[in-house]
């Protein structure tokens, strides 16, 4: 059987026919697909000496628009990584010359993180191959299926009331 999740569902159906395990069909596949996407994108990032979290920080600063500067708090809220991951990444990226940190113009106690010219060039160079990797992964779906999947995932990503 090529579908591991289907095998798991059948095993549970055999062992516990009294339990509805149908959520595993979606969650199991989401987890497996997410790992495969992460693995594929990691190969592209590694070619450029980055990891996914570092690329996300650079991309977040780049898409924020000129002057490509955010507070660490805003960066954490806009990026797809945790605050502790941001701090670690910023130290590394600052040492690499990809970002710089300076006192906040609004509040001298705070800091601002700014994309350097080298950082901007790097993210601009990586972005096309990043998107090609994502397109390649999605090639099994039609454009309409991709739009439908994006809409369904967006629906799942909305905050829900716990029941």
Residue 80 is classified by DSSP as S
Give all strands of the β-sheet with 111-115 in edge-to-edge order. Answer: 69-70, 111-115, 99-103
Instruction: Tell me how many degrees the CA angle 93-62-81 measures, rounded to the nearest 5.
Output: 60
pLDDT at 1 exceeding the cut of 70: no
pLDDT at 123 exceeding the cut of 60: yes
Look at the block and give the residue holding tokens 């040492």.
95
- Alpha-carbon gap, residue 147 to 87, rounded angstroms: 35
Q: Given this structure, which CATH class describes domain 50-139? A: mainly alpha
> Would strands 69-70 and 111-115 be described as parallel, antiparallel, or unpaired?
antiparallel
| pTM of the shown model | 0.82
- pLDDT per residue as tens digits for the range 40-52: 999 999 999 898 8
Q: Where are the domains of the chain?
A: 1-47, 50-139
């Amino acid at each position: 059987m090529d579908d591991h999740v289907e095998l798991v569902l059948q095993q549970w159906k055999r062992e516990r026919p009294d339990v509805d395990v149908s959520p595993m069909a979606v969650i199991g596949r989401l987890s497996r697909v997410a790992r495969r996407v992460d693995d594929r994108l990691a190969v592209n990032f590694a070619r450029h000496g980055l990891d996914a979290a570092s690329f996300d920080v650079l991309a977040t600063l780049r898409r924020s628009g000129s002057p490509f500067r955010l507070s660490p708090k805003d960066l954490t809220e806009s990026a797809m990584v945790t605050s502790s991951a941001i701090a670690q990444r910023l130290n590394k990226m600052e040492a690499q010359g990809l970002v710089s940190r300076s006192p906040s113009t609004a509040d001298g106690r705070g800091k601002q993180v700014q994309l350097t010219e080298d950082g901007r060039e790097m993210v601009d160079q990586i972005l096309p191959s990043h998107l090609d990797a994502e397109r390649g992964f999605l090639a099994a779906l039609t454009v309409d299926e991709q739009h439908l999947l994006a809409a369904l995932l967006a629906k799942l990503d909305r905050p829900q009331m716990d029941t």
